[in-house]
Structure formats: structure tokens, C-alpha cells
Amino acid sequence: MKMMIRMEIECTKYCVALILMRSILICSAAQVTAMFAFGDSLTDPGNNNYLNSLAKANYMPYGVDFYGGLPSGRFCNGKTFVDYLGELLGLPVLLPYTSPFATGRNVVRGVNYASAAGGILEETGRHLGERFSLSAQVVNFESTLSEVRSQMGDEEFSNYLAKALVVMSLGSNDYINNYMLPSFYASSYIYTPNGYADLLISRYTRQILALRSLGLRKFLLGGIGPLGCIPNQVAAGAAPPGKCVAYANNVAAIFNQRLQSLVDDLNAKYNGTIFSYGNTFGAFVDLLNNANTYGFNVTDRGCCGIGRKQGQITCLPFSVPCNNRKQHIFWDAFHPTEAVNQILAERAYSGSPSDCHPLNVQQMTLM
């Protein structure tokens, strides 16, 4: 066990070193001053490596296609959505907030605060141990902000924040690791699906506006994907063969409708601030329905996992993943492959209004 932990630490250090070396080579002509990411395991770059949590991915074969082929803590075979979006914006790879390297000049181009099992609600994911909820991630951002402020004058700092991009992608755990786990959480007994979505949006809005009050002016708010189509849900046998779990998709759709309406309301209320809704659900369903067009031929099972659809138990240490990873939509029981993440990032960056409403990320950078 000690040898395994030591190897995990060395792998993490090696990956961080590779990331920093690559970042030195990035062109300085970035389209935004920085990017700050808030989220869960879909975008966690390794923050949970430093927490007492069961939700960790700092072991092989996670990261098999990442820099050096070693685990960084990302819940993927390679890069996340945030990694790819950063590349499109000309930014270096964002370091996790908990990394010992996330200090000084290394944080000026942005930081990733996402935490596996974290959600909009404080209690979400508690059965998995330590994690950063959204409110905790915002507090962590304020800590970074103090460090950045010390490196700039007042006017430069104000312009820096106004031209930075905030990427927020939360809510999945509030369903998978809260509302849809009645044996651990009482939320489904207390709230109807509509009432629960309203609760989430209310809490979400509070944190979004807290970030705006600090000076940030460009927000990409990603919706929840089709939860009923992930291997973990399909493996539970709650849907006919070849179909997704309708209930899980329906509750996700309710949240997404509320989130898009929130974007419209915020844009109408706050002049000088841009809010965009990333239609993750729609983009993901398009990939599932037209998989062959995008080069995928495995749509309903994980590349790495155990049990039915490789989705009953997620990817365990030193498991042997599939070889045709670029043809799989799902990497493990819950998360997409990096091939999917790249497509989702490209659609958020330059897609149509059906992908990103009312503006895509590229359009946001020009305003």
C-alpha cells in the first residue's frame, strides 16, 4: 500500500512537471486574460488527490492517454473539457487549486477548482468523503484572487478580471450523488423534481453572483448531460435494452431548462456581464444518436470498468482498459473519453446557438 501511494505521488509530480513545461511553450496571445473553472469530476484536474476522499482518479489506468501516460487525478483517459477549451483559447493547462505549484505567476492565467463528488449543495457527495462544494470552490477562488491582486495595479487587475472567462459545470452530482440516492439522502422525499431544480438554481445563482461581485464578467454555465445514458445508469437495468434511463434524463432536463432561463434573466439584468448556457445535454445526445458520424461505435458501455456494461463498478487501480478508446463515448461508469471532451469543447467554443446560448465562447472573447 505504501509503495502504491508513493508511486501515485511521484506520478502526480511528474504530470504536473510535464504540464508546466508545456505551458512555457504556449503562445502569449491568449484570447482571455485567464480562465477559472468550477465543477465536479467531469473537470477535476486532480484537486481530490489532496483530499481525504473516495472520489479519486490518481491511479492507473486513468491518464493512460494524458501527458506521459500517467494519472494526474483527471477522471478520464486523457484531457477534460476544460483542458481542451483552454487550448482553444491559447491558455496553458490550468493547475488544480490544491497543487503545491498553484502559486505566484503560475495562477495568473487561471486555476481549476473542480472537485469530484462536489455539487451545488453542501451535502452532495458527503458519503464519498472530502470534496469542495461550489461554495467552497468560490472561497478557494477568493484566495487565488488575493494572490493575483498582489501582482497587479488596481486598473490592470480590474481589466484582468473583466476579460477573464469563468467556466462552471455543476449539478450532475446533485442528482447522481444526492437526489437519486434515497438510501443516503432525503432530498427526493422532500422535493419534487421541479422543486429540487428550483432549489439548485437558487443556490447556484447565489454563487454565480458572488463571483460577479468580485469583478468577473464572462460566464459559461454548462448544463448537465444525459445522466440516464451513462453506463452506471444503463447497467442498473432500469431501462429497456438499448435505451437510456428516462427518469434520470428527465430530471436533468428540468435542471437544464431552469439554467437556460437563468442565463436569459441574468443577461437582461446585468449589463456589462455576459452569461452563456452550454447545452451539454443536446451536444451529448447528438453524439449518441449520430455516433458513427463522429467516429464512435461503442455508445453504451465504459472503456474501463467492471460488471454489466463495464458500469457497475468504475475503473479500479491497474485495470486493463479497452484498446479502441477513440471509438468509445464513455471512459468509465460515469465519465466520457477525451475524444468526447474535445468535441464538446469545440462546440462550446465555436458552435451554433443550439450548442451555446446566446453566444459561444469565441464570440464572448470578442466582446
143 is catalytic: no
Assigned C-alpha cell, 346: 469545440
3 state DSSP class of 60: coil
127 assigned to active site: no
Kindly write down the DSSP assignment for every residue of 320-348, as one continuous string: ---S-GGGEEESSSS-B-HHHHHHHHHHH
Q: Which of 44, 174, 300, 332 is catalytic?
A: 332
Exactly one of 133, 335, 355, 357 is catalytic; name it.
Answer: 335
Long-range contacts formed by 252-257: CB under 8 A, 24+ apart: 252/171, 252/172, 252/175, 252/224, 252/225, 252/226, 252/227, 252/228, 252/281, 253/281, 254/193, 254/194, 254/197, 255/171, 255/175, 255/197, 255/200, 255/201, 255/223, 255/224, 256/223, 256/224, 256/281, 257/197
Sheet containing 95-96: give its strands across.
Answer: 95-96, 110-112, 35-39, 165-169, 218-222, 274-278, 356-357
Q: Is 41 a catalytic residue?
A: yes
Catalytic residues: 41, 332, 335
